Amino acid sequence: MGQLVGHRTAVRLRAGRGLDRGGASVKGLEFWKNVSIGRYVESDSPVHRLAPATKYLWLLAIMIPVSSSRSAVVVCASALLPLVFAVLARVRIRFLLRGFLPVLPFIALAATFQVFLSWPGDASPVLAAVGPVSLSLREAVAVVMMAVRFAAMMLAIGLFTSVTNEGDTARGVEDLFSPLARIGFPARSLALTIAVAFRFIPIVAGEFESVVKAQAARGADFGTGSRGPIRKAKAYLPLIVPVTVRALERAESLAEAMEARCYGSGPATRYVDSGGVATDAVARIAAIAWIVAAFVAPALIASVS
């Protein structure tokens, strides 16, 4: 009897130590709260009232100059547009910036590659040097511009999903490609694919958080107290399979729900009309004008100078 009591006590002590380790590991594992992409913020702002196609057009008006323009002024100006729209939409900028936390290691890795890669014909002054590795002015500008481009695209996508619900996301794509639907383009299927992709971003993050916390509560160590990225990466590798299985289960549930509602069995009708009003016409003209100005203005300035 005494041996049995001692055995139970030892089990409790081991479980307690595992929970303590799990509690320490769970701390800082909240991935859901750091995901802003795919989370709709309900409001009655002027930005929310715009037609979905107008929001898509402004998303392109930000993404195209940011990703393809060589002018630093154009890139920085386009990067400020999501912040302006966030104020108009009454979406907290802190909420959008939280989406950067999960991708900061990738930004740092890309910036490191930019620094270590050689730049042929780089005659710019050296800002810092550590042994054989040096950072020139041209490399520093390239790193900063890469970070600004990435930040602008993340902010634009995060803001778009914050002011556009799942239904409007699908309707916007369908509206944009509706002229091509007459020649057989699957506009409706493309709209559904994009809407589901946006919606699954927070779902996968939530499933990942659930699996991590469940494993941490059982004593798993995910290296939250360690600064070594390699150790953290090795700790998260075994989670790929369970998270993938959960995501596939959610996808299967979605497919069964759509099949039960006879999705795709006939022509679709709309309960909400997203045709837009005069405000949308003005916003669309402004978006097109911004895209044109982003490419024409630098060329004109270069020709004059």
Q: Give the DSSP per-residue string, 152-174.
A: HHHHHHHHHHHHS-HHHHHHHHH
> Does position 26 have pLDDT exceeding 60, yes or no?
no
Quickly tell me which residue has 């940011």 as its tokens. 66
Q: Report the distance separating Cα 55 and Cα 72, nearest Å.
A: 24
Instruction: Determine the Cα–Cα distance for residues 39 and 57; give it in Å rounded to an integer.
Output: 20
* Predicted pLDDT of residue 145: 87
Across 252-266, average pLDDT? 80
Which of 137-141, 232-236, 263-267, 270-274 ranks highest by mean pLDDT?
Answer: 137-141
Give whole-number Cα distances, 90 to 38, 46, 47, 82, in Å.
Answer: 17, 9, 9, 12
Dist CA 51 CA 168 (whole Å): 8
pLDDT tens digit sequence for 162-205: 898 877 877 887 788 877 777 888 877 887 787 787 777 777 87
pLDDT in tens, 85-103: 999 999 888 888 877 766 7
Q: Which two tokens stand for residue 83?
A: 């912040």
pLDDT band at 8 (very low <50, low <70, confident <90, very high): very low
Cβ atoms of 176 and 56 within 8 Å: the answer is: yes
* Rounded Cα distance, 10 and 36, in Å: 44
Mean pLDDT of 108-119: 72
What gap in Å lies between CA 35 and CA 186, rounded to an integer? 30
Residue 305 has pLDDT above 90, yes or no: no
Q: Which two tokens stand for residue 296?
A: 């024409």
8 vs 203, higher pLDDT: 203
How far is residue 86's CA from residue 79's CA, in Å, rounded to a whole number?
Answer: 12
- The string of pLDDT tens digits covering residues 130-150 is 777 677 777 778 888 888 898
Average pLDDT value for the chain: 76
- Is the pLDDT at 290 greater than 90? The verdict is yes
Split at pLDDT 50, 70, 90, the class of 76 is very high
Of residues 280 and 237, more confidence is placed in: 280
Asked if pLDDT for residue 207 goes beyond 70, the answer is yes
236 and 222 Cβ atoms separated by less than 8 Å: yes
Output the pLDDT for position 40. Answer: 82
For tokens 């020139």, the residue is: 136
Residue 219's region, left for phi above 0, alpha for psi from -120 to 50, else beta, is left
What span, in angstroms and rounded, lies between the C-alpha atoms of 165 and 159?
11
pTM: 0.68
pLDDT category, 272, cuts 50, 70, 90?
low
Which pLDDT tens digit goes with each residue over 217-258?
A: 777 766 555 555 666 667 777 778 888 888 888 888 888 888
CA trace torsion 259, 264, 265, 266 (10° rounding): 150
Smallest CA-to-CA distance from 254 within 207, 210, 206, 203 is with 203
250 in helix, strand or coil? helix
